[in-house]
Amino acid sequence: SNQLLGGTGKSDHGAASSHSTAHNSKTEQPQRFTFSPEPTMEDIRRMQAEFTDERDWNQFHQPRNLLLAMVGEVGEVSELFQWRGEVAEGLPGWTESEREQLAHELSDVMIYLVELAEKCRVDLPQAVLRKMALNKLKYPASKVHGSAKKYTEYKD
Ligand SMILES: Nc1ccn([C@H]2C[C@H](O)[C@@H](COP(=O)(O)OP(=O)(O)OP(=O)(O)O)O2)c(=O)n1
């Protein structure tokens, strides 16, 4: 678990402060990475709703269109990884410009996902909690530790 690693007490919100050293020089442990607490999913929903309202774009933002837009943005994320071979955690060797492009494309996916959930009346943060509870039931840590088999392959 990521939370057990590091131990510097410092967190990395992905800002430029961690540019050249993705590892602590003494321990070679991966540096702890966490998100900023804000904006929340509800903040993102509200900001995108304002963006859409101000442009009179709700007429285009039906669920199906938002889904297609989101999948298109997933494709743009894929383009950044295409033909590179395997990419290690932390994206060693990627330029700042490539990292910023990735941040943009992942954000586009997130923005459309949040608006899609809103337009489908899915309370996304609560739905994530419910789904993660189900995942824990389906994949008890004691049973599946270190194995990536799908749940249908376990015969306790
Ligand atoms: N009808 C639209 C068009 C755009 N956006 C917002 C949500 C996305 O965050 C971003 C998507 O903009 P683009 O369609 O211009 O896509 P890109 O920013 O990826 O540009 P490009 O396709 O040129 O890479 O803008 C939106 O909400 N509704």
Residue 29: per-residue pLDDT: 59
List Cα–Cα distances, 106 to 44, 53, 124, in angstroms.
14, 23, 17
pLDDT tens digit sequence for 22-59: 444 444 556 789 999 999 999 999 999 999 999 999 99
Going by C-alpha positions, the residue among 90, 97, 86 that lies closest to residue 31 is 90
- For residue 130, give both structure tokens: 């419910």
Kindly give the number of the ligand 1 atom that is closest to the alpha carbon of 108. 9
**Candidate from 54, 108, 109, 112 with most ligand 1 atoms within 8 A of CB, to mutate:** 108
pLDDT tens for residues 111-138?
Answer: 999 999 999 999 999 999 999 999 999 9
Which residues lie below 8 Å from residue 2, measured CB to CB, with a gap of 6+? Answer: 30, 32, 33
The pTM (predicted TM-score) of the whole model is 0.83
**Domains, the chain:** 1-37 (no CATH), 41-143 (1.10.287.1080)
Do the Cβ atoms of 31 and 24 come closer than 8 Å? yes
Reduced 3-state DSSP string for the chain: CHHHCCCCCCCECCCHHHCCCCECCCCCCECCECCCCCCCHHHHHHHHHHHHHHCCCCCCCCHHHHHHHHHHHHHHHHHHHCCCCCCCCCCCCCCHHHHHHHHHHHHHHHHHHHHHHHHCCCCHHHHHHHHHHHHHHHCCHHHHCCCCCCHHHCCC
Mean pLDDT value across residues 2-21? 44
Report which ligand 1 atom has the smallest distance to the Cα of 112.
7
For 110, the token pair is 């997130």
Which residue, judged by its Cα, is nearest atom 24 of ligand 1?
A: 76
